[in-house]
Structure 1
Amino acid sequence: MVCEGHLDIYGYSLTLPRTILFYIFSFCTLGIFRLIIHWKEEWYIKVRATKCNLDQANILFIVDENRTTTHRLVKDVTMGSDGNPLILPNGLGSYREVSHIRYFTFRKMLYAWFEKEAKFIPPSDFDSSVPVKTLIDRIDDKHGITTAQVLQRRLTYGRNLIEVQLKPIVVLLFKEAISPFYIFQLFSVCLWYWDEYIYYASIIVIISVGSITLDVYQTRKQEKKLRSMVHSSGEITVLRDKGECTILVPGDVIVIPEHGFVMQCDAILLTGTVIVNESMLTGESVPVTKVNASGLDDDNKTGNVKLDFDRHAKHVLFCGTQVLQTRNYGRGLVRAIVIRTAFSTTKGQLVRSIMYPKPIDFEFNRDLLKFVGFLSIMASFGFAYTLGMMFHYGAAWKKLVIRSLDIITCVVPPALPAAMSVGIINANGRLRKKDIYCISPSTINTCGAVNVTRDCSFGLDTGEMRHEDFPEGARVIKLQLSAHRF
């Protein structure tokens, strides 16, 4: 096990006997076994694989900071399609050639295996903490990197593109329909049809199909809206041995246009000064002045200071920010060196936080699950009692099964998810009429309990928001703030 940032990563190895047994059980149970372990990721891993060291693993069990679990296959690439050798950053501002790269992708980020650290680490993490001295040494760099180096780095870092891909409708429908509540609802409806309880069962089917359809429609609509919001493109001059190019990789030296340009990467300013608008990232409407990397020399008196995006923010041109004005007193080009690209940039981190929001785990949601669990226990007792009594009195087997199972559908409400979905969709539509948009509809139930709000952006920025500033009896909901989530 290794703790990679906010991820706990456990190594496993897939085995042929376990895989064969997995498919046999899935087939013999008509998919029920496969469905159950789909709900419990840790069961899926334990059924199909055995635990091993990370350097030997071909499948990983991942637990994030919110205790959400998933699994990822480890891929291995040995050579680029164009024959270029593979490289990995060494954390010193340079690269080393490797024979192969073991990696996996998680939430739009690539994690590569580094032998020395014995961890899976995003290569961009090394670029974000290079020694300041390596950046100072490149202040006079007017040639950038070669085309061969660009091709090598593209194999490691990929394309400089922040893209929100639309999930197929079939996938959205399937994921929505296989939730435990809807599976129980399917069981209940089949039982009611068997018992010729046709009208009520048909109404539940219509409501459920309608709620699933509307949920999928809302999800697809939000995906399209997010994709249109984050899409950005532009052309920029890159200093290379063969002139201009629009494909950026870490280490490229770019020329910042005089005005109107939107940054497509995170870069350190090498020469000149730049005034930028960072409202897209921070909400701050006041323009910010960025100074060149020569000022880093003041922080590098010991010679071993590493780049820190928070500490050295005044030298960083963040992705997504708009260039308002540039100036270079030497009448030369205003140059910057690319540090991070695509989803590893500040904008990319913001987009990922929207695409993969923190799961809602409020107390009343947990109480709801506890209540449903309690009802399930009561239903089990009712099922056993009814089954025993009807068997004792010699009831027909069909009536015995139907009436016993019917107790479960009476105690545990199968129409609960459909009713909640209809209510949430209706509330979401009313919010949109007021130009209030929600990317996480499941939070609407929570927001329904809020009756007092306050614009406290000043207090959040300065730390001066106090409990005394709120009306008596008001409850303050704790917010988890970071530089890239708001």
Structure 2
Amino acid sequence: MADTQSLKPEQYTSKCNLVTGYRIYLPKLVVNYIFTIISLGFLQLVFYWKPVWHLKCTSTKCQLREATVVLIQNQFHESFVENVKCRKIQVPLTSILPDQSNECPDEVFSESISEQAVDIASAKAQPKKCHHSILPSSGESDIDDDRRALIRPTKQLPDGEFQFIFFEHKKGVYYWNPVFQGFLPLQGLERQTELSAFYDKLKGYSKEDQAIRQGVYGLNEILIEVKSYFKLFVEEILNPFYIFQIFSMILWGFENYYYYAACIVAILIISICISLYETKKQSVTLRDMVAHSSTVTVLRESGETEEISSRFLVPGDVILIPRKGCIMSCDAALITGNCIVNESMLTGESVPVTKTPLPNPPATEGAPVSCYDVENHKRHTLFGGTHVIQTRSYGPESVKAVIIRTEKVPSMKGELVRSILFPKPVGFKFYRDSMKFIGLLVILALAGIAYSIVTLIHVKACIDDLVYKALDIITIAVPPSLPAAMTVGTVYAQNRLKKRGIFCISPQRINICGKLKLICFDKTGTLTEDGLDLWGVVPLQDSHFLPAIQKPSELTHGPIVVAMATCHSLTIIDGKLSGDPLDLKMFEATNWILEEPGVESNELDTIAPTVVRPHSNETFYPNGNSELNPYEIGIVRQFPFSSALQRMSVVTRTLDAKHMEVYVKGSPEMITSLCNSNTIPLDFQHVLQSYTEQGFRVLALAWRQLDPKVSWHHVHKIPRGDLEANLTFLGLLVLQNALKSATTPVIAELHNANIRTVMVT
């Protein structure tokens, strides 16, 4: 067994229990068959309810590397039994998957020394290194032979093939890696991939390389099983409560207690039918929502393109995004062109967002290597399930993206589906108290049985009466009609909610709604209106705030107006201006016009794909020349808003001007930290506080001029941080977000019911 000290366990923060390896043990299996026959099959029914018992009664513990079955116990004290599978692949796994030997993965199922069990560790790794060799198409990694022999998670077979050992758990795949002496989650390119690799190394796969990787990653699809009514019926009827009901009805039949038994049978049949219908309906709905397969264009290693089904995509594939858009079938990092994306399926926000290419910082000796990260680069990532509305590119080059994660990894869409299929258990005190109450009833029933037996023996009752009366006490203490009645009540409540436009994916939780003590609300769009209104602009003069101006269109065309007209991510979709409501209000207040080139001009225009200009046909004399030119400003480069950076910025160029300009918009605290201190008013904090205390939302604006020597091509290579430095403070934007008319009475009603309300934003 490997020395686990080399795995640096102190880097993990364990928040789970164990994963234990098992393999079939023949003597236990024989004993299991014997007792199954003796119990007339009842033992197998118990094992159906308790798979862990079945595993322990038929298998024996073994080292994890030799296991054919694993027992998983998570941090919620849930137990799962999964079969370990083995698949033949044509190349070593190290030539397909990223090298994880220098990192701590987010989740590892690794072997323990003291027991043949494992910790499921979940942690954020310590400082991580980037991969210097990402999925080489030659099938060779650049690590030395000794290290390759150690980390190879596959065993070569006599026929030259290799073994890929893995198990599937909650729609995720975990593969065996001897370095960690455990199973690691299958990964794509979502971690530790150098940004430069997306441009320099990932050029697409040949058909053969793609097929080899499919042996590991499988098909790019999420399979939602829709069980037949017969299978659903069998699973439902084998529920312990229903078995107890059947037992009770048989007992009442022997006692000639037909009428009550008939009522219970009727309720039982109705509740089962309703439950089967709802379960089937929800499964079909989820399958139809998740299922998506389309034809995509992939770039091959040779430079040619080919149309294939999206089911065959693997991480590292390069795809071309159609100009008219598409539905993304997996997560992909954008490397050329821009995309306008509707992410409402994942975020619930209907406002389209702009996606820009991944940064490609130049390699500098001694500087840390920049790596891809899904969270940090989400503005450059097209997520599975989202709708690409349209694309834009510079020149004739196609809009390209590199596949990061497919559904087996899984993608963002896959994670959403997993959260629906396998929700985290919620430890309600109400449920715990209910179980304690049922346990108390069982204790009382046992006491009643003991008392009845003693009493009946004392009066010399026959054995039949003794058995019937004892069993009757059980059916009285634990009412057989309770599950059926709960099902009928839950379905009725669900239908009432549905009529009010409220849908519930977990009906069993409706029962605890009456126990709610705290309700959390989102702010924008829930408590307040969706949009913001521009209340006013607070400009500067000689580093002093001027009174707020209610109509920004009345301002002269200085830097603050240009900042409002250009510093946004608006786009035109179907002839209408679309984008963030805040940006829309800000731009509309300037009374300017935004123009985007059409398909024909887009292919020829390599300077500024988007232009803004005043509504009136204004002209000016550029550089003192006598020739009049229209006053137009082109948006040369755009940095979308980042919540982590608390700002967005653009690089612009006025028609025929010699220099470019940078405009930045963001939180006042962040913008002032980027500005020259001598441009910030002395009463900045006082003025800012006066607006925020009134409930206004306040943004700050700043700008700077770039050196005339900075060319269009050069500005696209300058890091964002260098462009957003040494800014000049321009002023404040003051916006208001009005409450919805229903907000105040609803909050008051909740307070009257002693329910605490919290705003989460």
Once the 2 structures are TM-superposed, how far is the Cα of residue 65 of structure 1 from its aligned partner? 4.0
1:352 partnered with 2:418: yes
Range 162-171 or range 265-274, more displaced: 162-171
Say which of 359, 375, 395 aligns to 1:310: 375
SS of equivalent to 1:364: helix
1:251 partnered with 2:311: no
Once the 2 structures are TM-superposed, how far is the Cα of residue 258 of structure 1 from its aligned partner? 1.5
Judge conservation of contact 2:321–2:391 (CA < 8 Å) in 1: yes
Once the 2 structures are TM-superposed, how far is the Cα of residue 335 of structure 1 from its aligned partner? 0.9
Matching residue of 1:484: none
> What amino acid is the match of 2:65?
D
Judge conservation of contact 1:262–1:321 (CA < 8 Å) in 2: yes
Say which of 170, 178, 182 aligns to 2:238: 178
Q: Deviations over 1:128-148 (max 9, x none)?
A: 21322xx42342568511111
SS of equivalent to 2:199: coil
Q: How does 1:49-128 map to 2 (within 5 A)?
A: 49-79=59-89, 84-85=90-91, 87=93, 88-91=96-99, 92=131, 93-94=134-135, 98=154, 99-124=162-187, 127-128=189-190
SS of equivalent to 2:439: helix
Q: How does 1:374-453 map to 2 (within 5 A)?
A: 374-449=440-515
Say which of 389, 394, 399 aligns to 1:329: 394
Say which of 323, 328, 348 aligns to 1:283: 348
In 2: Cα distance, 1:295 partner to 1:256 partner: 20
Judge conservation of contact 1:269–1:317 (CA < 8 Å) in 2: yes
Judge conservation of contact 1:74–1:103 (CA < 8 Å) in 2: yes
> What amino acid is the match of 1:197?
Y
Say which of 33, 41, 58 aligns to 2:43: 33
CA spacing shift, 1:394–1:107, aligned 2, 3 Å: same
SS of equivalent to 2:329: coil
Q: Which has the larger radius of gyration?
A: 2
In 2: Cα distance, 1:355 partner to 1:326 partner: 33
Range 19-28 or range 154-163, more displaced: 19-28
Matching residue of 2:735: none
Matching residue of 1:153: 213
Once the 2 structures are TM-superposed, how far is the Cα of residue 10 of structure 1 from its aligned partner? 1.8
Once the 2 structures are TM-superposed, how far is the Cα of residue 449 of structure 1 from its aligned partner? 4.2
In 2: Cα distance, 1:296 partner to 1:277 partner: 28
Once the 2 structures are TM-superposed, how far is the Cα of residue 226 of structure 1 from its aligned partner? 1.3
- Structure with bigger helix share is 1
Q: TM-score, normalised by structure 1?
A: 0.88
* Matched length: 470
In 2: Cα distance, 1:298 partner to 1:373 partner: 67
SS of equivalent to 2:379: helix
Matching residue of 2:224: 164
Say which of 178, 192, 197 aligns to 1:130: 192
CA spacing shift, 1:35–1:400, aligned 2, 3 Å: same
In 1: Cα distance, 2:197 partner to 2:395 partner: 18
Judge conservation of contact 1:139–1:293 (CA < 8 Å) in 2: no
In 2: Cα distance, 1:203 partner to 1:394 partner: 34
Judge conservation of contact 1:274–1:326 (CA < 8 Å) in 2: yes
In 1: Cα distance, 2:62 partner to 2:272 partner: 40
Judge conservation of contact 2:358–2:380 (CA < 8 Å) in 1: yes
In 2: Cα distance, 1:433 partner to 1:415 partner: 27
Once the 2 structures are TM-superposed, how far is the Cα of residue 437 of structure 1 from its aligned partner? 1.9
> What amino acid is the match of 1:129?
R
CA spacing shift, 1:296–1:429, aligned 2, 3 Å: farther
Once the 2 structures are TM-superposed, how far is the Cα of residue 275 of structure 1 from its aligned partner? 2.1
CA spacing shift, 1:430–1:394, aligned 2, 3 Å: same
Say which of 245, 249, 252 aligns to 1:189: 249
Judge conservation of contact 1:360–1:443 (CA < 8 Å) in 2: no
Matching residue of 1:11: 21
Long gaps (5+) in structure 1: 482-486
1:363 partnered with 2:363: no
Judge conservation of contact 1:274–1:327 (CA < 8 Å) in 2: yes
1:231 partnered with 2:241: no
Judge conservation of contact 1:452–1:474 (CA < 8 Å) in 2: no
> What amino acid is the match of 1:346?
M
SS of equivalent to 2:295: coil
Q: Deviations over 1:232-273 (max 9, x none)?
A: 232221011463122211111111111331111101111122
Judge conservation of contact 1:382–1:407 (CA < 8 Å) in 2: yes
* CA RMSD across the alignment: 3.2
CA spacing shift, 1:139–1:90, aligned 2, 3 Å: closer
CA spacing shift, 1:282–1:66, aligned 2, 3 Å: same
Once the 2 structures are TM-superposed, how far is the Cα of residue 185 of structure 1 from its aligned partner? 1.5
Judge conservation of contact 1:86–1:152 (CA < 8 Å) in 2: no
Range 289-298 or range 178-187, more displaced: 289-298
CA spacing shift, 1:52–1:452, aligned 2, 3 Å: closer
Once the 2 structures are TM-superposed, how far is the Cα of residue 438 of structure 1 from its aligned partner? 1.5
1:205 partnered with 2:265: yes
In 1: Cα distance, 2:495 partner to 2:440 partner: 33
CA spacing shift, 1:302–1:238, aligned 2, 3 Å: same
In 1: Cα distance, 2:324 partner to 2:364 partner: 29
> What amino acid is the match of 1:128?
E
CA spacing shift, 1:171–1:298, aligned 2, 3 Å: farther
Judge conservation of contact 1:86–1:156 (CA < 8 Å) in 2: no
SS of equivalent to 2:471: helix
Percent pairwise identity: 38
Judge conservation of contact 2:517–2:755 (CA < 8 Å) in 1: no
In 2: Cα distance, 1:474 partner to 1:322 partner: 43
> What amino acid is the match of 2:267?
I
Query: Which structure would you say has the larger RCO, counting Cα contacts within 8 Å and 6 or more residues apart?
Result: 1
